[in-house]
Amino acid sequence: MHPVAIEPLSSKSSESSWQPDNIYANGLAASDSPSKAHPKAASLAGKARTIFLMSHDLITAGKLQAAAALEQRTVECVGETFTLFRMLQGFRPAAVLLDLDMHTGAAWEAADRLLLNPNCPPLVLLTGRVKDPDFSLAEHSGCIVDKFTAPLRLMQIVDQTIEAAPSARDERIAIQRITVLRLNPFHPAEYRDFGIND
């Protein structure tokens, strides 16, 4: 999978509009590339502290939206990789949350693509499988979060991810890359033959 071109982060705001600079250039075929950003992206431009959540879990989504509303935030839910990247083309959220339990594998694909970019937005990987030994190790390392965590606590974790120092963010992304390679059930087995701490 080739990296997807993402515009550099703005120093002015964590939610400034992204430049529509062929975010799909190396991710989708040219025939699939939209001529403009997702229509919803324009309507988000005036909203403060918007978070994107990729998930099919309506219960988790509803709880996060309710928790976000208490803090004057918005959680926008998407269910497909294409839609997520099309929205990212026109608007930069405060953070992106990916539900790795989606049966389609779309969140794993999105994680792969985002983590290959040096300007990856603050990214939180969610799963309900933290009792699985491999996922438990990833949770303890801080690169995966239990999606059944209390919603307000989960919002605190999102804040910590957003506010992390550059060095801490780089370290987190590096660990997330290895974790996704190792645990992604949609990757060939040979990609998963190494440990998180290798």
Residue range 129-150, pLDDT digits in tens: 877 777 877 777 778 899 999 9
Task: Answer whether residue 128 is part of any domain.
Answer: yes
Residue with tokens 């300007």: 119
Task: Answer whether residue 60 is part of any domain.
Answer: yes
Task: Answer whether residue 18 is part of any domain.
Answer: no
Residue 36: per-residue pLDDT: 53
Element (H, E) at 20: none
Number of structural domains, the chain? 1
**Over the chain, what is the mean pLDDT?**
75
In this structure, are strands 50-54 and 74-78 parallel, antiparallel, or unpaired?
A: parallel
CB 83 within 8 A of CB 38: yes
Residue 12: pLDDT band by 50, 70, 90 thresholds? very low
Residue 49: pLDDT band by 50, 70, 90 thresholds? confident
Q: How far is the C-alpha of 122 from the C-alpha of 102, rounded, in Å?
A: 20
pTM exceeding 0.75: no
Residue range 51-64, pLDDT digits in tens: 999 999 999 999 99
Task: Answer whether residue 8 is part of any domain.
Answer: no
CB 169 within 8 A of CB 175: no
Task: Answer whether residue 96 is part of any domain.
Answer: yes
Task: Answer whether residue 166 is part of any domain.
Answer: yes
At residue 138, the 3 state secondary structure works out as: helix
Q: Residues with Cβ < 8 Å from 163, sequence gap 6 or more?
A: none
Range of the domain at 63: 30-192
User: Where residue 150 sits, what CATH number does that domain have?
Assistant: 3.40.50.2300
Task: Answer whether residue 24 is part of any domain.
Answer: no
pLDDT at 194 over 60: no
Residue range 141-188, pLDDT digits in tens: 778 899 999 999 999 999 999 999 989 989 989 989 988 988 888 866
Burial (CB count within 10 angstroms: exposed 0-12, middle 13-18, buried 19+), residue 46 = exposed
Residue 38: pLDDT band by 50, 70, 90 thresholds? low
Task: Answer whether residue 12 is part of any domain.
Answer: no
CB 50 within 8 A of CB 94: yes
Q: How far is the C-alpha of 58 from the C-alpha of 41, rounded, in Å?
A: 21
Residue 92: per-residue pLDDT: 86
Residue 60: per-residue pLDDT: 92
